[in-house]
Structure 1
């Protein structure tokens, strides 16, 4: 259940510039506010602490001086040490209650005096609040010392412990001449409350500041992002073919000038696209008309050529050779004319499929047997490899033409080596791959092999009588089926062409049963194929 909100949040983060800017600004603002607040809080705390320490030390020294004055004013003949200590402790406790600090009197210290009187302190005070290190320092003879420590109270008081400044001083008691220790505990309750108030104020102010920064950032980015979103929607409509779409221009700022430039670009693109469409229409019409018009004179020339070819044995050697060349070129010209007519049908969108269920393995064997004489003339051995039948709903004539073009192309470039036709299937698709081990394809040529009239090596003769349109027609046939036709190759390592078709007409393809880069390719060829070697229509290696 938690994955869906997380996925939505990640989608918004990836797609929304405004969300990224607002969140990034708030995060940076939070860091700045946090650092500034931390510094301010520490400065305030240090100031309060220094003031409290100074005031506590002054108060402790004053109380010690007052106690010494009162003790020196006592009658010299008084020998009741316990009573004198009790009177001293009582006066200090009363003064502490009035001024907000606690007192503890212990002694005698250092083993002086006839007997210890114990510890007298403010009622409810836990005398263990005085740190041992401070006790040892005072008992060792230090006249005055202080430290930080928590002041604790007895459970029955219900008071909570609090940080405090604990100061200690030693006093000489006239009654017995012994040294006693007086400890003053100054709780920092008010300072803690002040720091708490300051902390709450900083947190509240920081939160309000972050909200304000987020709101301002959202408003500012909205002024920039909204026109960009409008431009994106207009661009999407332009890409879908609605070339008349334009952006609304208001004002004279940079965004208005951007909208004006965008509209000018759209108008220019619209004009150029219309010119290209018109040129393409004229070109397609020209090819179609010329192809149809050439059929009549070609038929006449064909009839005359057939007569000459049949009577070639009665001619002299030169005339006989001319008749044979004429017949060969007429055959090639007829194939070229048929290919041009087929291309014109694809360009006009008039090509349709005549679907039926066939076994591509049988079709591949039929094509291989038909072209075997050509392969034997080139010293090329043809092999068909398939595991089980590969049934698919396709147009047999068009698929057979694709396979024939691929096999003849492989024979042309196999350089007297083996050509392997491999077939495979899965639940979604059937695939046929034609692998040769000849000259292969140079880097970048796999993206051009399906171009019309393109040749990898213009000086290389077409031994199979090709027209330069075979692979282009094969690509259009594959697209008409909703399939993929792709090429891979490496120089000196041969090439592989892969045809992938859905098993049912109209089915979607997401993978192919045969890898485009063959397993026997070199390591460099596999890397190049994974990066650049895929060309044709759709799919992945």
Structure 2
């Protein structure tokens, strides 16, 4: 009977104040609550930022943008290099072909040892080409002295790379694969950071050597304009891809968001939550799976609720059924208790034991009925001003725990509460302490400002 009463008390701690030790949960003195709140708010802010940065929408947009940027940059780079090669090749071939013809037409008509004035005049005529390049002619004058004249007076051999000079002056053997002793050679240079095309050739039969210098600034400007255009196109493509990614992410994530909201409502207890399913894609299959899961969960919860209701009805019915015979038994035991003094001394202890256990059984049934009323939502507090020390002592005494429990409860601590529920709470706490911690158990009662 004692074990049953203890189990009943431990199992229904909800009958009492849900926080009987409120004072133990207070913050220690001197701890700044505002600082902790600021830290918590700052931590929550960082978590919110981290959630935004790691959101699926942002990752989808970032992937779309990265793919679009890679494709746009690759296409722009390929287009730039192809156009660059085409522009430079076209300008270069045109200028070199014109320079070759000018060397054959103008320089080829000079004598083997021309005068310096003749070289200068010929260089100027050659430089009048529509391709706008400068000319430098080298030869030996009639006196046997080297002579170098340019079309503008500034173009000199210092602007010609040494490797190009060596290639132009080198004489090749004439054979079936090589019909000429000398060839036209060219090289792109960037003296001072400006792009130039330098070409050189030697007149067949020992005539003068000529060099041309053409600025490629116009072609470089065209290529820069092309690069800017491709950069702007790449930026526009990136912006467009980001907008398309945002739209695509919204389309993809809308069902996921609906699924998350439905799962949240289901977790809050709305078991009739269902998703509208349309289509045959993976998200539709996921929605169907969620609906089947919700239906199964709802059916299981309804089944458990029905079983719990049946259990509560059984306990309530059993409590009422036990109360009727217990009333008669209690009346008989009260009569026996009154006649204890007149009974045989050998029988009196047994009678007293029956009286005590009957009262405990009656309390157990009353507590069980209280539980059923609590489950049914009809339980009410019966408040009274009681001495907490007396309640603790009575709870320990009626359960025969005086030898295993030390009580430190000064009298005079009066509280307004429901005595029955306080008894259940005390029995729950002390019984658990004896069962799991062993004796002796020390119970102390103190007052503390809230």
TM-score (norm. length: structure 2): 0.61
Query: How far apart are the structure 2 equivalents of 1:401 and 1:274?
Result: 26
Which deviations, in whole Å up to 9, do the C-alpha atoms of 1:32-51 show, x marking residues without a partner?
22222222222222222333
Three-state SS of the structure 2 residue aligned to 1:120 is coil
Q: Per-residue deviation at 1:384?
A: 7.8
State which of 58, 65, 75 in structure 2 corresponds to 1:40. Answer: 75
Which structure has more relative contact order (CA 8 Å, sep 6+)? It is 2
Shift of 1:117: 5.9
User: What is the match of residue 326 of structure 1?
Assistant: 354
Match of 2:306 in 1: 275
SS in structure 2 at match of 1:182? strand
State the structure with more CA Rg: 2
- Which consecutive residues of structure 2, in runs of 5 or more, have no partner in the other structure? 1-41, 170-184
Confirm whether residue 395 of structure 1 aligns to residue 403 of structure 2: no
Q: What is the CA–CA distance in structure 1 between the aligned matches of 2:341 and 2:161, rounded to whole Å?
A: 133
Q: CA deviation at 1:30?
A: 1.6
| 1:350 and 2:357 matched | no
Closer, same or farther: CA 68–268 of 1 in aligned 2, 3 Å: same
Q: Secondary structure at the match of 2:152?
A: strand
User: For 1:41-80, what aligned pairs fall within 5 Å after superposition?
Assistant: 41-69=76-104, 70-76=106-112, 78-80=114-116
TM-align CA RMSD: 5.3
Cα drift, residue 266 of structure 1: 7.6
Secondary structure (helix, strand or coil) at the match of 2:115 reads: coil
1:26 corresponds to which residue?
61
In the alignment, is the contact (CA less than 8 A) between 1:384 and 1:420 conserved in 2? yes
Unmatched 5+ stretches in structure 1: 153-160, 386-390, 431-502, 504-541
Q: Does 1:415 align with 2:415?
A: no
Q: Is the 8 A contact 1:106 1:181 kept in 2?
A: yes
Rounded Cα–Cα distance in structure 2 between residues aligned with 1:150 and 1:384: 102
**Is contact 2:69-2:234 (8 Å) kept?**
no
1:218 equivalent to 2:246? Answer no
Q: Does 1:306 align with 2:372?
A: no
Whether the aligned pair in 1 keeps the contact of 2:137 and 2:208 (CA below 8 Å) is no
Equivalent of residue 317 in structure 2, options 243, 262, 286: 286
Structure with more of its chain in helix, by fraction = 2
2:408/2:444 contact within 8 Å kept: yes
Listed one character per residue, the Cα deviations across residues 340-399 of structure 1 (whole Å, up to 9, x for unaligned) are: 2332332232334467999xxx94697379849966623x555689xxxxx998626344
The answer for the alignment partner of 1:149 in structure 2 is 190
Match of 1:466 in 2: none
Aligned to 1:367: 392
